[in-house]
Amino acid sequence: MVSEKDKMLNGELYDANFNHELIEERNSCKILCQRYNTLPYNSSDRLEVLKQIIPSISNSVTIEPSFWCDYGYNINIGDNFYSNHNLVILDAAPVRIGNNVFVAPNCGIYTAGHPIDIELRNKGLEYAKPITIGDNVWIGANCAILPGVTIGDNVTIGAGSVVNRDIPSNTVAVGNPCRVIKNI
């Protein structure tokens, strides 16, 4: 029998609300996020706690509190990453972020989604699709990056954008829905 976690990681519909394994993993991660968010700003423990949340990060990653994610282990962040305050990453599927990526305040990276079918949604089922963000990307304030999106290298995403489709490399994209307005 395929577990709910396997379904989640395979992009299939899964039940995250009543599955003990997924609930435990989220709770453990949320406790670490809460700890990270309440540490004194100048605490030498900040990076160590962040590495407990996201084991793959290097020493050149800065995430300003508050920061929340669901699992942590599905997040892979390259070197020279900076996120301003209030980053949320719903990482039920892999989130891959390249090198030299900068994220403004109040942004969300959401791999999780819910079915349009009312009966399935009311059963508590959801799905997750991976998100990839390339190298040298700037994401403006108050952006939402939705399930299954790939943002190429050397991209600027304008503030307030809702990124619901792939954005090619070497572009500036803005809006709701986000669309390319300029090649660079």
By CB neighbour count within 10 A (0-12 exposed, 13-18 middle, 19+ buried), where does 93 fall? buried
From 5, 51, 85, 114, the catalytic residue: 114
Q: Rounded to whole angstroms, how far apart are CA atoms 46 and 49?
A: 5
Q: What is the dihedral of CA 72, 77, 80, 84, to 10 degrees?
A: -50
Among 91, 70, 123, 93, which residue's Cα sits nearest to residue 6?
93
CB neighbourhood size of 115 (10 A): 14
Interatomic CA distance for residues 132 and 127, integer angstroms: 17
Q: State yes or no: is 114 an active-site residue.
A: yes
Catalytic residues: 114
